[in-house]
Amino acid sequence: MPKQHQSISTAVGRDLMQTSSVNKSILTPVEFLTRSALVYPRKTAVVYGEKRYSYREFFRRIYRLASALRKNGVSKGDKVAFVCPNIPPMLEAHYAVPLIGAALVSINIRLSPGVENGSCIMERASPR
């Protein structure tokens, strides 16, 4: 191909890449999980001690938690406080809460008593 045609095709290709919705996709953590559950349903997603969850199992656990939150009145824009050590349910909350459009307020279980303790965080965050 002549040099001038190469530069034109490169420019056209670049314009198509920038404007085509086919090539543009926002990959959020929730979208990543959904895609992984479809593409790699049996692949290990979470390892905690002897416990292992595939992407399919992890996806289902997250959707169950999101569904339970919705059934308990949590909706888009709400804040959800979660007091939990770093175990699989905390990871699940990091996906389930944004899945329904809410914000996660993750509270460290090792907070020392004092001004910045859990109750102070709860008061300031005013979660559901």
pLDDT digit string, tens, across residues 3-47: 544 444 444 445 555 555 666 677 888 899 999 999 999 999 999
pLDDT digit string, tens, across residues 71-85: 999 999 999 988 888
- CA 94/CA 106 separation, integer angstroms: 9
123 or 43: whose pLDDT is higher?
A: 43
First-residue to last-residue Cα distance in the chain: 64
pLDDT digit string, tens, across residues 86-122: 899 999 999 999 999 999 988 877 665 655 565 666 6
Cβ proximity of 101 and 75 under 8 Å: yes
Q: Which domains can be identified in the chain, with CATH numbers?
A: 25-125 (3.40.50.980)
CA distances from 83 to 7, 69, 70, 101, 122 (A): 57, 15, 19, 19, 10
The pLDDT assigned to 9 comes to 44
